[in-house]
Amino acid sequence: MSFSGQVVTSRTNPRLKQLRAAFQGQARLSSGLIAVEGEHMVEEALKSGQALKTVFLSERMELPAYVPASVEVVSVASDVFASIAETRTPQGIAALLVPPAHSVEKMLEGPGEALILIAVGLQDPGNLGTLIRSAEAFGATGVLTTPGTVSPWNQKAMRASAGSVFRLPVAVATPDAMETLEQQGIKLLAAMKDDAVAIGEADLTVGSAILIGNEGAGLNEDWLRLADQRVTIPCPGWVESLNAAVAGSILLYEASRQRGART
């Protein structure tokens, strides 16, 4: 373990600048690394097999026993650590790690039918993180995010996923990825608030990809034209529409329910 014991007090320290860039989502300045903060997130990353590059500790924080001996450790003055941390009450530990690389092909592997959630233009990191967590909970094989969707490595998105982002394949919905879904016969279902088939009447036991649109605008015409079927969640109450994360979670649950009933 590389740990000199010296406390970094300069905010312009190269390692701290790299951590700050990672928190801000600046991939070039962070050398492609992502940042996680807090004991839970650091431990979840390790449990999920992620490769930690550097661990940053507030000077009053003891090094957790679960941190591998091969990881570089940087001790940081408390006020400097607080100035970089993303949370209001930092726990005194953060880490830089290599983000896992996944592909749509990985989501199509396995003995069962694929179940993929496609986040189209979602802006709220809490919504995306919740959807990733629900996708793992209900047996989805992966999540695709379109350009314009908030990064799954956004700090709020990672916290909302409760570690699922480290375990479930998440990749970008590139044109090639969408072409692969079409070639493999994956059924695209567009989530709508009306003028669609009730979700209980749609067959989700086949290979499926559920499209969840932007929180305000929903799915645009380009995505609707790609869809094989439009589905909706019947709501008897006086609610105009459901939150994107809630709607996506219900649709994922219905897919899980149908598949469970079939076996």
Q: How far is CA 201 from the centre of its chain?
A: 29
pLDDT of residue 20: 92
Q: Residue 34 — pLDDT band, cuts 50, 70, 90?
A: very high
Torsion of CA 219, 180, 154, 212, to 10 degrees: 20
Distance of CA 65 to the CA centre of its chain: 27
Q: For residue 16, what pLDDT is reported? A: 93
C-alpha distance from residue 135 to each of 60, 212, 213 (Å):
38, 12, 16
Q: Over the stretch 149-168, which tens digit does the pLDDT of each residue have?
A: 999 999 999 999 999 999 99
Is the confidence at residue 3, as pLDDT, over 60? no
pLDDT band at 1 (very low <50, low <70, confident <90, very high): very low
- Beta carbons within 10 angstroms of residue 242's beta carbon: 16
pLDDT band, very low/low/confident/very high, at 263 (cuts 50, 70, 90): low
The tens digit of pLDDT for each residue in 203-260 reads: 999 999 999 998 888 899 999 999 999 999 988 887 777 899 999 999 999 999 999 8
Rounded-to-integer distance, Cα 113 and Cα 107, Å: 10
pLDDT for position 209 = 98
Distance, in Å, from the CA atom of 257 to the CA atom of 252, rounded to the nearest integer, reads: 9
Per-residue model confidence as pLDDT tens digits over 59-96: 888 888 888 888 999 999 999 998 887 776 678 899 99
* Helix (H), strand (E), coil (C) string for the chain: CCCCCCEECCCCCHHHHHHHHHHCCCCCCCCCCEEEECHHHHHHHHHCCCCEEEEEEECCCCCCCCCCCCCEEEEECHHHHHHHCCCCCCCCEEEEECCCCCCHHHHCCCCCCCEEEEECCCCCHHHHHHHHHHHHHCCCCEEEECCCCCCCCCHHHHHHHCCHHHHCCEEECCHHHHHHHHHCCCEEEEEECCCCEEHHHCCCCCCEEEEECECCCECCHHHHHHCCEEEECCCCCCCCCCCHHHHHHHHHHHHHHHHHHHC
Nearest-5° Cα angle at 236, 217 to 120:
25
Specify the pTM: 0.90
Provide the phi-psi class of 110: left if phi over 0, else alpha when psi is between -120 and 50, else beta: left
Q: Which one, of 19, 13, 16, 10, lies nearest residue 155 by Cα?
A: 19
What are the residues facing 125 on neighbouring strands? none
Q: What is the mean pLDDT of residues 170-182?
A: 96
Name residue 198's beta-bridge partners.
Answer: 232
Domains in the chain, CATH or no CATH each: 7-97 (3.30.1330.30), 104-262 (3.40.1280.10)
- Report d(CA 46, CA 67) in Å as an integer: 8
pLDDT tens digits for range 89-120:
678 899 999 988 899 999 999 778 999 999 99
Which region holds residue 252: left if phi is over 0, alpha if psi is between -120 and 50, else beta? Answer: alpha
